Amino acid sequence: MKFILVISFIAGGLMACSPQDQQDTKQQKSAEEAGKSSQIIFECERNDAITVRFFTDNDRAVMTRNNEDIELKQERTASGFLYSNGLNGIRGKGDDLSLQIGRMALINCRAM
């Protein structure tokens, strides 16, 4: 009898680690993360477009440009918003945004 209980316990534990359960957990985490962020698409000069996800729970943003995600931390500013990682940054107010990529000139963008 004890043997059957032990086998049942092990089988149940293995099922909890199945790939389907792991995928469900990842989907749930993505859904939770999406609820804590807002996503805005900006149209920039030279027909560039960027997507910025602003996370409300930890003062960060993720900018997606040319299929590359760039994580930025929020910095203090007198008005509007500023996110940077030292080399890349976004600064804006309302629907307007200025994009800084390395030493390139600022790129002006507007929310779509």
CA 60, CA 81: separation in Å to the nearest integer?
Answer: 11
Taking only the tens place, the pLDDT of each residue in 48-88 is 899 999 998 889 999 999 999 999 999 999 999 999 999 99
Does this model's pTM top 0.85?
Answer: no
Beta bridge partners of 89: 84, 100
pLDDT band for position 91 (50/70/90)? very high
Q: Domain 37-112 sits in which CATH superfamily?
A: C-type lysozyme inhibitor (2.40.128.200)
Q: Rounded to an integer, what distance in angstroms lies between the CA atom of residue 110 and that of residue 63? A: 14
Question: What residue segments make up the domains of the chain, in order of their start?
Answer: 1-35, 37-112
